[in-house]
Structure 1
């Protein structure tokens, strides 16, 4: 049975230098860097000189994502706010204000050459044999080469070029550890690595839990703002449905609801009440409860809120695409 710690080390990859530009007065310190340039990554301690290519088609990256200090300490030092996966992986974000983050910022100002690193979790791995070619990220690669497909980025980190040679050289330099001169040295290093990995996984899980809580709080605030703007009250089931929507679906749905809410209130001259043309006929029923209220007809108490029903139907339609 493979060692799970060794398995985890297989998916750690060093990246390019990270930039820490000077901040304007009163603003947070920011960072930016290229986590992956879109080409062949070679010289990795496990995957060898034949190299690995990460397929960016459909890659999953949390937004926002945690920026940690080293893979083996996992101190929270920043938040990745934007990610561009058009042919490469460019990231940018803000540093936190804790002591560790400020220490790294100061070291960078003093000229220390930090680098960015990442852990990638492939859904499948394709081996391309000698003499064959494969097109990935708009580039043609000749075998032998390994292709990571259906990828997910699980973490970004800042690491030093002078990484701890006893415990993390495999992860950061892409080279195998030198041959030990004593048996007890090998055992000690393995125990140190196991302990460090266990601590890193715990702190990473804590950071991801905090990010999840932050996203939930932000969505709750957005739903409350939408209620206030539309002058309506969603039920508990409605709020659950909105909370579980994908970010892009919720943003689009909220935009449509605002447009349709404004459109339904527009009236023809001479007191005629007529709904303004809607951009999408599929939403024609969303505000029927408003029209009924204006004509003096009250909706049944147990009838599902038409606004929410339409939004949830739209979300289900988008999810099935």
Structure 2
């Protein structure tokens, strides 16, 4: 069959349309000669079994089927992408190399060795041995999912001019819940033995943490805020070094001293009332059971605050219990004073 400048050998039938359902031994496509051992149906080489297929200036070896769309679900041994030749051992479906098993994949000027699958998105859930990020080469032993290196297991990760050794996972956000052995912050190198979650070093277990010109030794956790509820052995505050063996919370000391001041003022006022109010002083001296009753009330409130966590920690029960304790203690001390 004569097609343009090419001579096509036909061993079958030509029906309506351009070589529709015809069995060919050789088929000419543009300047390339394609060997065909199957059938060509409606559309551009639809569901045709090819041994070789020409794509642009590249020759692609095909051992499977081409269906509707651009090389959809076709089994390739080699596939040409721009100037790079990609070795493919799996399937290419709709989209850019979607769910395709590659041994090598070209990204920019870098050659990335891939041993897994690429799905929708940029190298989503793909198992890489090496991954190129800008000018740095990142060794990857896990998976990359949606987002920038999300939940990927890295051995080394480049951050700016610093090289960060990572032995855990990076999830959504900047190094979220990642186990680091060393992490570079500015000009300081921070040794980390725990996890970084959302926020700036939130709930991270540090052995040493650099703050300004001071070096802070930390044996606990840093939560939201500036070293909030963190267990420190030494903490630098201005030019002073404060030794702390518990937890530091924002405004904690302020609230404690304010509460103690209110309690002392109420207690002192009740005692002054017993001392300088003549009628109350005489009544207290004649009523012997009042002191014993107030002592029992104080003991009950102390036991309740010690044993019941809900009363001790929840508002407004904690304030009510503390107020009752302050009044009962003031009445007890006032009655015992006279």
TM-score, normalisation: structure 2:
0.20
Which of these two proteins has the greater Rg computed from alpha carbons? 2
State the TM-score, normalizing by the size of structure 1.
0.21
Q: Which has the higher contact order (CA 8 A, sep 6+)?
A: 1
